[in-house]
Amino acid sequence: MRRCGLCLAVSLLVLVYAGVARANVVEYVSQHPVPANVGGGFCYINVPHVHDYPPADVRLYRETRAGYYFVGDPVPHAYDGPRYSYYGPHPVTEARVEFDGPVYCYIQGPHFHWYQPPARASFKFSGGAYWYVGTFPPAYYQDQPRYVGINEVYGPMPYARPAVDVHAAPGGFHGEIVVNRPGLRTGAVVGGSATPPPPMPSPAPAVQVGVDINIGGGPIVVEQRGVVERRETMERHDHHHVARGGGPLMALPVRRPEPIHSAPPRNHHPTLFAPAHVEPHHPGSGQKL
């Protein structure tokens, strides 16, 4: 018995020594948030590198052969660099990084990334954001259950998301339309410096949607919004009054023949009108989100 205890103690010592001798080296292939327990903030190294700490939440990453790639929205992680507004899921199109296969961002609703989609990719810039209007391959749906959990991270996270006019959703967009809960802030600026003009055919300098919402000309802040969804055979009205404050997102109850994520999408999407009250927002006065 005594001998057994001694063996156990020696084994434990060996294990502890092995743990000490092997340093913690974690490979990253992109910029990424720094976990709070090692100081927090954001690491701006955008080439493969190593740290002595693992990611705080692996749901925000894809594991590639070369290391972790951050697929989340960098803005709530103290990121302060170039940013581009997106709406809904889309392929990750950062040209600098080589993936083994297609990688998708499963974030619902408005969010930011540090990369701009390439001109040849199937994105449309509309209502203040890039929307993916291409077709998702089966791999997107197969991987969805595994990666859609990223919305559990960002959903309740209070931060200024890009203000996107969902009524300007282009035809061919297959994701869910998501709006902020009543009493919470949508985000901030549409068309400010946070979203540089896209290289692809962009909307006209100023587009009138509904009665009084302006998109594309000068930056504007959406203060209050009413949403009307109109379908071919049914008509329903949802009114959301949006005030200042950050908060969780919820999906606008868009009625679809079947859940959007359960099968490859159809080229059918609602026509939306947006009678909204907007206030002009002058450049340089609060474009930083």
Kindly list the residues in this chain that would bind other proteins in the complex (CB under 8 A): 21-25, 31, 34, 38-39, 41-52
CB of 52 or CB of 235, closer to other proteins: 52
CB of 116 or CB of 151, closer to other proteins: 116
CB of 34 or CB of 200, closer to other proteins: 34
**Measured distance between the N- and C-terminal CA atoms of the chain, rounded to whole angstroms:** 65
Q: Please, what is the minimum distance in Å from the beta carbon of residue 157 to other proteins?
A: 20
CB of 1 or CB of 25, closer to other proteins: 25
Q: How many CB atoms lie within 10 A of CB 267?
A: 10
Q: Please, what is the minimum distance in Å from the beta carbon of residue 32 to other proteins?
A: 10
Q: Please, what is the minimum distance in Å from the beta carbon of residue 115 to other proteins?
A: 15
- How far apart are the C-alpha atoms of 113 and 164, rounded to whole Å? 14
Q: What are phi and psi of 234, to 5 degrees?
A: -135, 160
Q: Please, what is the minimum distance in Å from the beta carbon of residue 121 to other proteins?
A: 24
Q: Tell me the longest C-alpha to C-alpha distance in the chain.
A: 85
Sign of torsion, CA 251 256 262 267?
negative
Separation in Å, CA 71 to CA 32, 62, 78, 101, 178: 9, 7, 15, 14, 19
CB of 21 or CB of 234, closer to other proteins: 21
104-105 and 90-91: which strand pairing? antiparallel
The whole-angstrom distance between residue 153's C-alpha and the CA centroid of its chain comes to 11
Residue 63: what residue type?
A: E
The whole-angstrom distance between residue 53's C-alpha and the CA centroid of its chain comes to 24
Q: Please, what is the minimum distance in Å from the beta carbon of residue 94 to other proteins?
A: 16
Q: Please, what is the minimum distance in Å from the beta carbon of residue 41 to other proteins?
A: 5
Tokens of 125: 């810039």
Q: Please, what is the minimum distance in Å from the beta carbon of residue 125 to other proteins?
A: 27
CB of 25 or CB of 234, closer to other proteins: 25
Q: Please, what is the minimum distance in Å from the beta carbon of residue 74 to other proteins?
A: 12
3-state secondary structure of 228: strand
CB of 26 or CB of 211, closer to other proteins: 26
What b/e readout covers 121-145, taking b as 16+ CB neighbours within 10 angstroms? bebbbbbbbbbbbeebeeebeebbe
CB of 48 or CB of 226, closer to other proteins: 48
